[in-house]
Amino acid sequence: MSDLLTFVTTDYAGITRGRSIAVADYQPGKPKSVGWVPANMSLTPFDQIADPNPWGSSGDLRLLGDENARYRVALPGAATPTDMMMSWITELDGSPWALCPRTFLANAIADFETLTGLRFVASFEHEFQLFGTGWAQAPAFSLRALRQADPFGPELMAALGALHCAPEVFIAEYGRDQFEVTMAPSSGLVAADRAVVLREVVRELAALKGWRASFAPKTAVNGVGNGVHIHFSFQDASGANATYDPARPGRVSAVGGAFAAGVIRHLPALVALTASSPISYLRLKPHNWSSSYTWFGDRDRESSLRICPVTTIGGADPSRAFNLEYRAADACACPHLALGAVIRAGIEGIRAKLPDPPLFSGDPEALSPEDRRHLGLERLPATLGAALDRLEADKAAAGWFSPLALETYIGMKQAEISLAGEALDDALCTRYADIY
Protein backbone atom coordinates (compact mmCIF):
# COMPACT_ATOMS: atom_id res chain seq x y z
CA MET A 1 0.00 0.00 0.00
CA SER A 2 1.22 3.48 -0.82
CA ASP A 3 -0.10 6.42 1.16
CA LEU A 4 -1.46 9.21 -0.99
CA LEU A 5 -0.86 12.95 -0.92
CA THR A 6 -3.74 14.89 -2.43
CA PHE A 7 -3.35 18.32 -4.02
CA VAL A 8 -6.59 20.11 -3.28
CA THR A 9 -8.52 23.20 -4.22
CA THR A 10 -11.84 24.29 -2.77
CA ASP A 11 -13.91 25.57 -5.63
CA TYR A 12 -16.79 27.98 -6.27
CA ALA A 13 -19.21 25.27 -5.07
CA GLY A 14 -17.33 25.13 -1.76
CA ILE A 15 -16.30 21.56 -2.49
CA THR A 16 -12.75 20.38 -1.93
CA ARG A 17 -11.49 18.46 -4.93
CA GLY A 18 -8.12 17.32 -6.11
CA ARG A 19 -5.76 14.67 -7.41
CA SER A 20 -3.34 12.43 -5.55
CA ILE A 21 0.17 11.09 -5.92
CA ALA A 22 2.01 8.39 -4.00
CA VAL A 23 3.46 10.14 -1.00
CA ALA A 24 6.89 8.66 -1.74
CA ASP A 25 6.93 10.57 -5.04
CA TYR A 26 6.73 13.91 -3.27
CA GLN A 27 10.02 15.66 -2.72
CA PRO A 28 9.79 18.45 -0.16
CA GLY A 29 11.21 21.71 -1.46
CA LYS A 30 10.57 20.86 -5.10
CA PRO A 31 7.47 22.44 -6.73
CA LYS A 32 4.92 19.76 -7.48
CA SER A 33 1.75 20.10 -9.51
CA VAL A 34 -0.92 17.87 -10.97
CA GLY A 35 -3.29 18.48 -13.87
CA TRP A 36 -6.59 20.29 -13.55
CA VAL A 37 -9.44 21.30 -15.84
CA PRO A 38 -10.93 24.82 -16.23
CA ALA A 39 -14.55 23.61 -16.63
CA ASN A 40 -14.32 22.05 -13.16
CA MET A 41 -15.03 25.54 -11.85
CA SER A 42 -18.43 25.34 -13.51
CA LEU A 43 -19.33 22.18 -11.59
CA THR A 44 -22.48 22.58 -9.57
CA PRO A 45 -22.80 20.81 -6.21
CA PHE A 46 -25.08 18.35 -8.01
CA ASP A 47 -22.15 17.03 -10.08
CA GLN A 48 -23.41 18.53 -13.31
CA ILE A 49 -21.33 21.10 -15.11
CA ALA A 50 -23.26 24.29 -15.86
CA ASP A 51 -24.18 24.40 -19.49
CA PRO A 52 -23.31 26.69 -21.14
CA ASN A 53 -20.09 27.69 -19.38
CA PRO A 54 -17.12 29.74 -20.56
CA TRP A 55 -14.76 26.75 -20.68
CA GLY A 56 -16.21 23.77 -22.49
CA SER A 57 -13.98 20.76 -22.97
CA SER A 58 -10.78 22.63 -23.77
CA GLY A 59 -7.86 23.94 -21.76
CA ASP A 60 -5.57 22.69 -19.03
CA LEU A 61 -4.44 23.96 -15.69
CA ARG A 62 -2.26 22.80 -12.79
CA LEU A 63 -2.87 22.38 -9.10
CA LEU A 64 0.41 23.64 -7.67
CA GLY A 65 0.94 22.50 -4.09
CA ASP A 66 1.74 25.05 -1.40
CA GLU A 67 4.18 23.17 0.74
CA ASN A 68 3.56 25.52 3.64
CA ALA A 69 -0.02 24.29 3.68
CA ARG A 70 0.23 20.53 3.96
CA TYR A 71 -2.15 18.88 6.40
CA ARG A 72 -1.43 15.27 7.27
CA VAL A 73 -2.97 13.28 10.09
CA ALA A 74 -3.76 9.66 10.86
CA LEU A 75 -7.39 9.55 11.97
CA PRO A 76 -8.43 6.78 14.37
CA GLY A 77 -9.64 3.81 12.34
CA ALA A 78 -8.52 5.15 8.95
CA ALA A 79 -6.52 2.76 6.74
CA THR A 80 -4.07 5.49 5.69
CA PRO A 81 -3.39 9.06 6.83
CA THR A 82 -5.44 11.95 5.49
CA ASP A 83 -2.85 13.98 3.64
CA MET A 84 -3.77 17.10 1.70
CA MET A 85 -1.80 20.02 0.38
CA MET A 86 -3.63 23.26 -0.32
CA SER A 87 -2.89 24.21 -3.90
CA TRP A 88 -2.96 27.19 -6.20
CA ILE A 89 -4.78 26.73 -9.47
CA THR A 90 -2.28 27.89 -12.08
CA GLU A 91 -1.72 28.08 -15.80
CA LEU A 92 0.73 25.56 -17.23
CA ASP A 93 3.65 27.95 -16.61
CA GLY A 94 2.74 28.31 -12.93
CA SER A 95 1.25 31.79 -13.21
CA PRO A 96 -2.00 32.21 -11.24
CA TRP A 97 -5.25 31.25 -12.91
CA ALA A 98 -7.65 34.20 -12.74
CA LEU A 99 -10.32 32.07 -11.04
CA CYS A 100 -8.21 30.46 -8.30
CA PRO A 101 -10.12 31.13 -5.05
CA ARG A 102 -6.99 30.82 -2.94
CA THR A 103 -5.21 33.39 -5.11
CA PHE A 104 -8.31 35.61 -4.82
CA LEU A 105 -7.94 35.53 -1.04
CA ALA A 106 -4.16 35.95 -1.06
CA ASN A 107 -4.49 39.02 -3.32
CA ALA A 108 -7.23 40.53 -1.14
CA ILE A 109 -5.05 40.06 1.96
CA ALA A 110 -2.02 41.54 0.20
CA ASP A 111 -4.06 44.58 -0.89
CA PHE A 112 -5.44 45.02 2.63
CA GLU A 113 -1.98 44.81 4.14
CA THR A 114 -0.50 47.25 1.59
CA LEU A 115 -3.34 49.70 2.15
CA THR A 116 -3.32 49.61 5.95
CA GLY A 117 0.10 48.30 6.97
CA LEU A 118 -1.83 45.88 9.20
CA ARG A 119 -1.90 42.10 9.33
CA PHE A 120 -5.26 40.46 8.70
CA VAL A 121 -6.08 37.81 11.30
CA ALA A 122 -9.07 35.48 11.11
CA SER A 123 -10.74 32.35 12.39
CA PHE A 124 -13.68 30.35 11.05
CA GLU A 125 -16.21 29.00 13.55
CA HIS A 126 -18.23 26.06 12.22
CA GLU A 127 -21.48 24.39 13.19
CA PHE A 128 -22.41 20.96 11.89
CA GLN A 129 -24.74 18.08 12.61
CA LEU A 130 -24.19 14.34 12.89
CA PHE A 131 -26.63 11.89 11.34
CA GLY A 132 -27.01 8.13 11.61
CA THR A 133 -25.75 8.02 15.18
CA GLY A 134 -28.84 6.33 16.65
CA TRP A 135 -28.59 8.57 19.71
CA ALA A 136 -31.60 9.54 21.77
CA GLN A 137 -32.36 13.24 21.79
CA ALA A 138 -30.29 15.01 24.42
CA PRO A 139 -30.95 18.53 25.71
CA ALA A 140 -29.37 21.47 23.89
CA PHE A 141 -25.86 22.43 25.09
CA SER A 142 -25.98 19.55 27.57
CA LEU A 143 -23.17 17.49 28.97
CA ARG A 144 -25.22 14.46 27.96
CA ALA A 145 -25.29 15.60 24.30
CA LEU A 146 -21.54 16.08 24.50
CA ARG A 147 -20.78 12.78 26.23
CA GLN A 148 -22.95 10.62 24.04
CA ALA A 149 -20.76 11.66 21.10
CA ASP A 150 -17.66 10.44 22.93
CA PRO A 151 -14.93 9.86 21.71
CA PHE A 152 -15.80 11.97 18.68
CA GLY A 153 -14.98 15.25 20.44
CA PRO A 154 -11.63 14.18 21.89
CA GLU A 155 -10.61 12.54 18.60
CA LEU A 156 -11.55 15.64 16.65
CA MET A 157 -9.69 17.97 19.00
CA ALA A 158 -6.63 15.71 18.90
CA ALA A 159 -6.69 15.52 15.10
CA LEU A 160 -7.02 19.29 14.76
CA GLY A 161 -4.21 19.73 17.25
CA ALA A 162 -1.96 17.33 15.33
CA LEU A 163 -2.79 19.31 12.18
CA HIS A 164 -1.69 22.55 13.90
CA CYS A 165 -5.21 23.96 13.46
CA ALA A 166 -5.21 25.26 17.04
CA PRO A 167 -8.64 23.97 18.10
CA GLU A 168 -10.10 25.95 20.98
CA VAL A 169 -13.59 24.88 22.01
CA PHE A 170 -15.81 21.91 21.20
CA ILE A 171 -19.50 22.53 21.87
CA ALA A 172 -22.69 20.51 21.86
CA GLU A 173 -24.83 23.18 20.19
CA TYR A 174 -28.49 24.12 20.30
CA GLY A 175 -29.72 21.79 17.53
CA ARG A 176 -30.18 18.07 17.68
CA ASP A 177 -26.80 16.34 17.31
CA GLN A 178 -25.37 19.74 16.38
CA PHE A 179 -21.81 20.60 17.35
CA GLU A 180 -19.47 23.52 16.97
CA VAL A 181 -15.71 23.85 16.86
CA THR A 182 -13.66 26.99 17.14
CA MET A 183 -10.01 27.46 16.27
CA ALA A 184 -7.53 30.09 17.39
CA PRO A 185 -6.98 33.06 15.09
CA SER A 186 -4.26 32.89 12.47
CA SER A 187 -3.31 34.84 9.37
CA GLY A 188 -6.18 35.03 6.89
CA LEU A 189 -4.95 32.48 4.36
CA VAL A 190 -4.19 29.93 7.06
CA ALA A 191 -7.63 30.51 8.58
CA ALA A 192 -9.37 29.68 5.29
CA ASP A 193 -7.14 26.63 4.80
CA ARG A 194 -8.01 25.48 8.31
CA ALA A 195 -11.71 25.84 7.50
CA VAL A 196 -11.23 23.37 4.65
CA VAL A 197 -9.27 21.01 6.88
CA LEU A 198 -11.84 21.16 9.66
CA ARG A 199 -14.74 20.33 7.33
CA GLU A 200 -12.92 17.40 5.74
CA VAL A 201 -11.66 15.99 9.04
CA VAL A 202 -15.09 16.23 10.68
CA ARG A 203 -16.71 14.49 7.72
CA GLU A 204 -14.10 11.74 7.60
CA LEU A 205 -14.06 11.16 11.34
CA ALA A 206 -17.85 10.84 11.33
CA ALA A 207 -17.79 8.52 8.31
CA LEU A 208 -15.22 6.29 10.04
CA LYS A 209 -17.80 5.76 12.76
CA GLY A 210 -20.56 4.99 10.27
CA TRP A 211 -22.17 8.41 10.77
CA ARG A 212 -22.57 11.32 8.44
CA ALA A 213 -21.57 14.86 9.28
CA SER A 214 -23.26 17.76 7.54
CA PHE A 215 -22.38 21.44 7.43
CA ALA A 216 -25.37 22.31 5.20
CA PRO A 217 -26.89 25.65 6.28
CA LYS A 218 -30.21 23.89 6.87
CA THR A 219 -30.72 20.15 7.05
CA ALA A 220 -34.49 20.65 7.45
CA VAL A 221 -36.54 23.73 6.64
CA ASN A 222 -37.62 24.26 10.24
CA GLY A 223 -34.48 22.78 11.76
CA VAL A 224 -31.62 24.70 13.30
CA GLY A 225 -29.14 26.44 11.00
CA ASN A 226 -25.50 25.48 10.64
CA GLY A 227 -23.60 28.72 10.39
CA VAL A 228 -20.04 29.58 9.50
CA HIS A 229 -19.03 32.63 11.48
CA ILE A 230 -15.92 34.39 10.23
CA HIS A 231 -14.07 36.22 12.99
CA PHE A 232 -11.43 38.77 12.11
CA SER A 233 -9.21 41.49 13.50
CA PHE A 234 -6.17 43.47 12.42
CA GLN A 235 -2.74 43.44 14.02
CA ASP A 236 -0.21 46.23 13.87
CA ALA A 237 3.54 45.74 13.60
CA SER A 238 3.89 45.52 17.38
CA GLY A 239 1.27 42.75 17.51
CA ALA A 240 -1.33 45.06 19.06
CA ASN A 241 -4.97 44.73 18.02
CA ALA A 242 -5.61 47.57 15.58
CA THR A 243 -9.33 46.78 15.46
CA TYR A 244 -9.74 47.87 19.08
CA ASP A 245 -10.17 51.38 20.41
CA PRO A 246 -11.96 51.63 23.76
CA ALA A 247 -12.59 55.35 23.21
CA ARG A 248 -14.81 54.80 20.16
CA PRO A 249 -18.41 53.53 19.77
CA GLY A 250 -18.52 49.77 20.14
CA ARG A 251 -14.79 49.88 20.98
CA VAL A 252 -14.08 49.59 17.24
CA SER A 253 -11.09 51.53 15.90
CA ALA A 254 -11.44 54.00 13.02
CA VAL A 255 -9.97 51.57 10.52
CA GLY A 256 -12.16 48.78 11.90
CA GLY A 257 -15.23 51.01 11.59
CA ALA A 258 -14.48 51.93 7.97
CA PHE A 259 -13.89 48.26 7.16
CA ALA A 260 -17.18 47.34 8.84
CA ALA A 261 -18.96 50.06 6.85
CA GLY A 262 -17.68 48.57 3.60
CA VAL A 263 -18.91 45.13 4.63
CA ILE A 264 -22.34 46.45 5.60
CA ARG A 265 -22.62 48.51 2.40
CA HIS A 266 -21.82 45.53 0.16
CA LEU A 267 -23.58 42.88 2.24
CA PRO A 268 -26.51 42.31 -0.16
CA ALA A 269 -23.94 41.43 -2.85
CA LEU A 270 -21.57 39.66 -0.48
CA VAL A 271 -24.13 37.07 0.57
CA ALA A 272 -24.19 35.77 -3.02
CA LEU A 273 -20.62 34.62 -2.27
CA THR A 274 -20.81 33.74 1.41
CA ALA A 275 -24.30 32.20 1.63
CA SER A 276 -24.10 30.65 -1.76
CA SER A 277 -26.81 28.01 -2.03
CA PRO A 278 -30.57 28.34 -2.52
CA ILE A 279 -31.15 26.86 0.95
CA SER A 280 -28.73 29.34 2.53
CA TYR A 281 -31.65 31.76 2.45
CA LEU A 282 -33.75 29.52 4.67
CA ARG A 283 -31.15 30.29 7.32
CA LEU A 284 -30.72 34.02 6.70
CA LYS A 285 -34.04 34.93 8.25
CA PRO A 286 -34.93 37.07 11.26
CA HIS A 287 -35.06 35.35 14.66
CA ASN A 288 -32.66 32.58 13.63
CA TRP A 289 -29.55 33.99 15.30
CA SER A 290 -28.01 34.03 11.86
CA SER A 291 -28.29 37.37 10.04
CA SER A 292 -31.00 38.95 7.94
CA TYR A 293 -30.34 42.68 7.73
CA THR A 294 -27.48 45.01 6.86
CA TRP A 295 -26.91 45.20 10.57
CA PHE A 296 -23.81 46.07 12.58
CA GLY A 297 -24.39 44.97 16.15
CA ASP A 298 -22.53 45.05 19.43
CA ARG A 299 -22.79 41.57 20.98
CA ASP A 300 -26.08 40.86 19.22
CA ARG A 301 -26.28 37.41 17.62
CA GLU A 302 -28.91 38.51 15.14
CA SER A 303 -26.62 41.08 13.56
CA SER A 304 -24.77 40.25 10.35
CA LEU A 305 -21.53 41.81 11.51
CA ARG A 306 -21.17 41.41 15.24
CA ILE A 307 -18.75 43.04 17.63
CA CYS A 308 -17.70 40.12 19.81
CA PRO A 309 -17.42 40.23 23.58
CA VAL A 310 -14.14 40.37 25.45
CA THR A 311 -13.39 39.19 28.93
CA THR A 312 -11.29 40.87 31.56
CA ILE A 313 -11.33 37.91 33.95
CA GLY A 314 -8.03 37.45 35.71
CA GLY A 315 -6.90 40.89 34.54
CA ALA A 316 -6.96 39.83 30.87
CA ASP A 317 -6.23 42.59 28.37
CA PRO A 318 -9.59 43.20 26.61
CA SER A 319 -7.88 44.18 23.38
CA ARG A 320 -6.28 40.74 22.96
CA ALA A 321 -9.36 38.82 21.87
CA PHE A 322 -11.38 41.71 20.44
CA ASN A 323 -12.73 40.87 16.99
CA LEU A 324 -15.59 41.31 14.54
CA GLU A 325 -17.69 38.38 13.38
CA TYR A 326 -19.25 38.05 9.94
CA ARG A 327 -22.26 35.78 10.49
CA ALA A 328 -23.89 35.69 7.05
CA ALA A 329 -21.77 32.75 5.83
CA ASP A 330 -22.24 29.02 5.59
CA ALA A 331 -20.32 25.99 4.42
CA CYS A 332 -21.79 25.95 0.92
CA ALA A 333 -19.37 28.80 0.28
CA CYS A 334 -15.69 28.37 -0.48
CA PRO A 335 -13.87 29.74 2.59
CA HIS A 336 -11.22 31.44 0.47
CA LEU A 337 -13.79 33.11 -1.75
CA ALA A 338 -15.95 34.13 1.21
CA LEU A 339 -13.13 35.62 3.25
CA GLY A 340 -11.57 37.26 0.19
CA ALA A 341 -14.90 38.92 -0.61
CA VAL A 342 -15.37 40.16 2.96
CA ILE A 343 -11.88 41.68 2.83
CA ARG A 344 -12.58 43.27 -0.57
CA ALA A 345 -15.74 44.85 0.87
CA GLY A 346 -13.81 46.11 3.88
CA ILE A 347 -11.14 47.60 1.62
CA GLU A 348 -13.88 49.52 -0.23
CA GLY A 349 -14.97 50.98 3.09
CA ILE A 350 -11.43 52.00 4.08
CA ARG A 351 -10.68 53.52 0.67
CA ALA A 352 -13.95 55.50 0.70
CA LYS A 353 -13.23 56.55 4.32
CA LEU A 354 -16.76 55.49 5.23
CA PRO A 355 -18.01 56.44 8.70
CA ASP A 356 -18.79 53.61 11.13
CA PRO A 357 -22.15 51.98 10.39
CA PRO A 358 -24.82 52.76 13.00
CA LEU A 359 -24.82 50.26 15.86
CA PHE A 360 -28.14 48.63 16.46
CA SER A 361 -29.50 46.15 18.96
CA GLY A 362 -33.07 44.95 19.05
CA ASP A 363 -35.51 43.62 16.50
CA PRO A 364 -35.47 45.33 13.10
CA GLU A 365 -38.80 43.66 12.32
CA ALA A 366 -40.39 45.63 15.14
CA LEU A 367 -39.31 48.97 13.61
CA SER A 368 -41.18 50.99 11.04
CA PRO A 369 -39.72 50.89 7.52
CA GLU A 370 -38.74 54.51 8.01
CA ASP A 371 -36.83 53.79 11.22
CA ARG A 372 -35.10 50.89 9.54
CA ARG A 373 -34.06 53.12 6.67
CA HIS A 374 -32.78 55.67 9.14
CA LEU A 375 -30.63 52.99 10.80
CA GLY A 376 -29.45 51.62 7.47
CA LEU A 377 -31.18 48.30 8.15
CA GLU A 378 -31.97 46.73 4.81
CA ARG A 379 -33.38 43.22 4.61
CA LEU A 380 -30.84 40.94 2.95
CA PRO A 381 -31.82 39.27 -0.33
CA ALA A 382 -34.39 36.56 0.34
CA THR A 383 -33.15 34.16 -2.33
CA LEU A 384 -29.86 33.21 -3.96
CA GLY A 385 -31.22 34.52 -7.25
CA ALA A 386 -31.88 37.93 -5.72
CA ALA A 387 -28.42 37.92 -4.13
CA LEU A 388 -26.77 37.14 -7.48
CA ASP A 389 -28.69 40.07 -9.00
CA ARG A 390 -27.31 42.31 -6.27
CA LEU A 391 -23.78 41.03 -6.93
CA GLU A 392 -24.10 41.85 -10.63
CA ALA A 393 -25.65 45.24 -9.90
CA ASP A 394 -22.99 46.22 -7.33
CA LYS A 395 -20.31 47.58 -9.66
CA ALA A 396 -17.63 47.60 -6.97
CA ALA A 397 -18.34 44.00 -5.91
CA ALA A 398 -18.58 42.75 -9.48
CA GLY A 399 -15.23 44.47 -10.08
CA TRP A 400 -13.49 42.28 -7.49
CA PHE A 401 -13.59 39.54 -10.14
CA SER A 402 -12.32 39.23 -13.67
CA PRO A 403 -15.26 39.19 -16.13
CA LEU A 404 -14.67 35.46 -16.80
CA ALA A 405 -14.62 34.65 -13.09
CA LEU A 406 -17.88 36.49 -12.52
CA GLU A 407 -19.49 34.85 -15.55
CA THR A 408 -18.37 31.42 -14.34
CA TYR A 409 -19.59 31.98 -10.79
CA ILE A 410 -22.97 33.40 -11.72
CA GLY A 411 -23.50 30.84 -14.49
CA MET A 412 -22.69 27.95 -12.15
CA LYS A 413 -24.95 29.33 -9.43
CA GLN A 414 -27.83 29.87 -11.89
CA ALA A 415 -27.42 26.25 -13.00
CA GLU A 416 -27.45 25.17 -9.34
CA ILE A 417 -30.66 27.12 -8.77
CA SER A 418 -32.38 25.38 -11.65
CA LEU A 419 -31.06 21.93 -10.64
CA ALA A 420 -32.29 22.54 -7.09
CA GLY A 421 -35.78 23.22 -8.43
CA GLU A 422 -38.50 25.54 -7.26
CA ALA A 423 -39.32 24.00 -3.90
CA LEU A 424 -37.12 25.00 -0.96
CA ASP A 425 -38.36 22.07 1.09
CA ASP A 426 -37.07 19.35 3.41
CA ALA A 427 -36.23 17.13 0.44
CA LEU A 428 -33.93 19.82 -0.94
CA CYS A 429 -32.36 20.37 2.49
CA THR A 430 -31.66 16.62 2.61
CA ARG A 431 -29.98 16.78 -0.79
CA TYR A 432 -27.75 19.59 0.47
CA ALA A 433 -27.15 17.79 3.76
CA ASP A 434 -25.81 14.82 1.78
CA ILE A 435 -23.47 17.02 -0.26
CA TYR A 436 -22.18 19.35 2.45
Total residues contacting ligand GLU (rule CB under 6 A)?
9
Smallest separation, CB 261 to ligand GLU (Å): 23
Smallest separation, CB 281 to ligand GLU (Å): 12
With CB under 5 to 8 Å by kind, the binding choice for 224 among Mg ion, ligand GLU, none is: ligand GLU
Cβ distance to Mg ion smaller for residue 180 or 356: 180
With CB under 5 to 8 Å by kind, the binding choice for 290 among ligand GLU, Mg ion, none is: ligand GLU
Smallest separation, CB 290 to ligand GLU (Å): 4
Under the binding rule (CB under 6 A), the answer on residue 290 touching ligand GLU is yes
* Distance set, CA 65 to CA 49, 187, 270, 325 (Å): 25, 19, 29, 30
Cβ distance to ligand GLU smaller for residue 19 or 301: 301
* Distance set, CA 435 to CA 17, 204, 429 (Å): 13, 13, 10
State the residue number with the nearest CB to ligand GLU.
227
Backbone angles phi, psi at 68, to 5 degrees: -80, -5
- Judged by CB under 6 A, the residue of 289, 321, 367, 376 near ligand GLU is 289
Under the binding rule (CB under 6 A), the answer on residue 170 touching ligand GLU is no
Under the binding rule (CB under 6 A), the answer on residue 279 touching ligand GLU is no
With CB under 5 to 8 Å by kind, the binding choice for 283 among ligand GLU, Mg ion, none is: ligand GLU
Under the binding rule (CB under 5 A), the answer on residue 180 touching Mg ion is yes
d(CA 234, CA 220): 37
Q: Is 276 exposed, middle or buried (0-12, 13-18, 19+ CB in 10 A)?
A: buried
Smallest separation, CB 227 to Mg ion (Å): 6
The 10 Å CB-count burial string (b at 16+, else e) for 287-326 is ebebbbbbbbbbebebbbbbbeebeeeeeeeebebbbbbb
Half-sphere exposure at residue 102, Cβ-oriented, CA atoms within 13 angstroms: 25
Under the binding rule (CB under 6 A), the answer on residue 212 touching ligand GLU is no
Under the binding rule (CB under 6 A), the answer on residue 223 touching ligand GLU is no
Under the binding rule (CB under 6 A), the answer on residue 297 touching ligand GLU is no
Cβ distance to ligand GLU smaller for residue 88 or 179: 179
Cβ distance to Mg ion smaller for residue 180 or 302: 180
Neighbour tally for 93: CB within 10 Å: 6
* Distance set, CA 136 to CA 9, 206, 253 (Å): 37, 17, 47
With CB under 5 to 8 Å by kind, the binding choice for 335 among Mg ion, ligand GLU, none is: none
Q: Is 19 exposed, middle or buried (0-12, 13-18, 19+ CB in 10 A)?
A: middle
Cβ distance to ligand GLU smaller for residue 194 or 327: 327
Under the binding rule (CB under 6 A), the answer on residue 283 touching ligand GLU is yes
Cβ distance to Mg ion smaller for residue 286 or 358: 286
Smallest separation, CB 22 to ligand GLU (Å): 41
Under the binding rule (CB under 6 A), the answer on residue 214 touching ligand GLU is no
With CB under 5 to 8 Å by kind, the binding choice for 225 among ligand GLU, Mg ion, none is: ligand GLU
Cα maximum dimension of the chain: 67
Closest CA to 108 of 270, 341, 335: 341
Residues 6+ apart with CB under 8 A from 234: 116, 118, 119, 120, 121, 241, 242, 243, 255, 256, 259
Under the binding rule (CB under 6 A), the answer on residue 301 touching ligand GLU is yes
Contact letters for ligand GLU, residues 307-346 (x by CB under 6 A): --------------------x-------------------
Under the binding rule (CB under 6 A), the answer on residue 127 touching ligand GLU is yes
Q: Is 166 exposed, middle or buried (0-12, 13-18, 19+ CB in 10 A)?
A: middle
d(CA 183, CA 192): 11
Terminal-residue alpha carbon distance, the chain = 30
DSSP string, 275-317: S-STTHHHHSSTTSSS--BS-EEES-TTSSEEEPP---GGG--
Cβ distance to Mg ion smaller for residue 26 or 174: 174
With CB under 5 to 8 Å by kind, the binding choice for 170 among Mg ion, ligand GLU, none is: none
Which residues sit at the interface with ligand GLU, rule CB under 6 A? 127, 224-225, 227, 283, 289-290, 301, 327
Which residues sit at the interface with Mg ion, rule CB under 5 A? 180
